[in-house]
Amino acid sequence: MRNQAVMTDRIRTIMSAILILLWGGLLGSADAQSAQPLNFLVAPVPLTTSEALTTSGPPEQSAASVQALVMGENGVIYAGSFGHGIFRTEDRGATWLPVGGGVTDPFILSLASAKDGAIYAGTFRGGVFRSRDAGHTWQPVNSGLKRLEVKALMAVDHELYAGTGDGVYHLHDSEDHWTPVTAGLDDILVHALARSADGTLFAGTSGKGVFRFSPRSSGWVRMHHGLKDHEGMIENFIRVLVIDQDQSIFAGTFDGGVFRSADGGLTWRPISRALPNDSIRGIVFSDRALVVATGNGIFKTVDKGRQWIPMNKGLTNLAVQVLIGSGDKGLYVGTSSGVFRSDDGVSWIAVNQGLEAGIAPPPFLFR
């Protein structure tokens, strides 16, 4: 592949343990209390080798690292940061305000906006939190969840779905208890979720590709024809799943590019061989174009992937972490240095007032 291979979960766990020791000053220091924290953030997803080995210099006042974005009611946008909680804006990003009262884990991995106006936040170690007052206060909604690392949230009508380290869970927006939808998907980390018009669920997993759950089925079925057949292959680390109006499914992988299925997930074919970067962080449809966020900027195609056009003017941080929006509402991306907005699909401006953040504490303190 053009990018270096994704770190495995086992390697990430080992590195996490080392980082805990380093943070506490237990390596190379007899006095843990006098040790200073290292100047880095720990990423919520497997990193490429080059990203994992990159460290920063002295800490500077900069925008928070934004991992999740969602559009709520009345044009309000919510941003979930990795280490600094949740922010909201009512003026398309011109100003942001912190609104995470009650969220005990500031490492936000996913956000969803329900039909009843509630906002849901999935966290690194604290499970799911819900706000019914436009983000001002939050309450945990974790009854029924086996594991509290929530990588993906999806709201469809009055139904909410959560992708966790133990498969998929379902919640009606009037309830407080999650029901497992895990038969055939037990103990599998789910990074992405999508639902087709007929109610079929799709789950993108860590190392095992795409699974499908039909309302008429009794469990999840692996749909990987066209993806690599061997578990753990780069193409089977699915980060993004989206479905277009024609019910074609697009899967964005950690380091294997973009795949498309036109038959409900039965077969897949790559559409990103001409894409300069294979690390896919987001996919949206805008003005008849397929727009893809990668580890090296934003690209769009209007010919089903035969040609990819860069759209990075003004985007000073090309390592995008999340992409949302549409042609009429504008496009927004979250990066490790805050949020950028594009109104024309060509150029970007930073919209970070109020998103300033210092060095975040290690996420492993919030178990």
| Domain coordinates in residue numbering, the chain | 65-268+352-365
pTM: predicted TM-score of the whole model, two decimal places: 0.81
Q: How far is CA 16 from CA 5, 19, 20, 239, 256, in A?
A: 18, 5, 6, 21, 25
Q: Just give the CATH number of 65-268+352-365.
A: 2.130.10.10
Query: Interior CA angle at 296 toward 281 and 351, to 5°?
Result: 75
Cβ density class 214-239: b for 16+ within 10 Å, e for less: eeeeeebebbbebbeeeeebbbbbbb
Element (H, E) at 20: helix 9-24
Region of 353 please: left (phi>0), alpha (psi -120 to 50) or beta. Answer: beta
pLDDT score at 92: 93
pLDDT in tens, the chain (367 residues): 444 433 434 444 344 444 433 333 333 333 333 333 323 233 344 333 333 323 333 344 478 999 999 999 989 999 999 999 999 999 999 999 999 889 999 999 999 999 999 999 999 999 999 999 999 999 999 999 999 999 999 999 899 999 999 999 999 988 899 999 988 888 899 999 999 999 999 999 998 999 999 878 779 999 978 776 556 566 789 999 999 999 999 999 999 999 999 999 999 999 999 999 999 999 999 888 999 999 999 999 999 899 999 999 999 999 999 999 966 779 999 999 999 999 988 899 999 999 976 555 555 444 4
pLDDT at 327: 61
**242, two tokens:** 């989206």
Coil, helix or strand at residue 10: helix
Number of residues that this document lists for the chain? 367
What are the beta bridge partners of residue 79?
69, 87
The two tokens of residue 167 are 């498969």
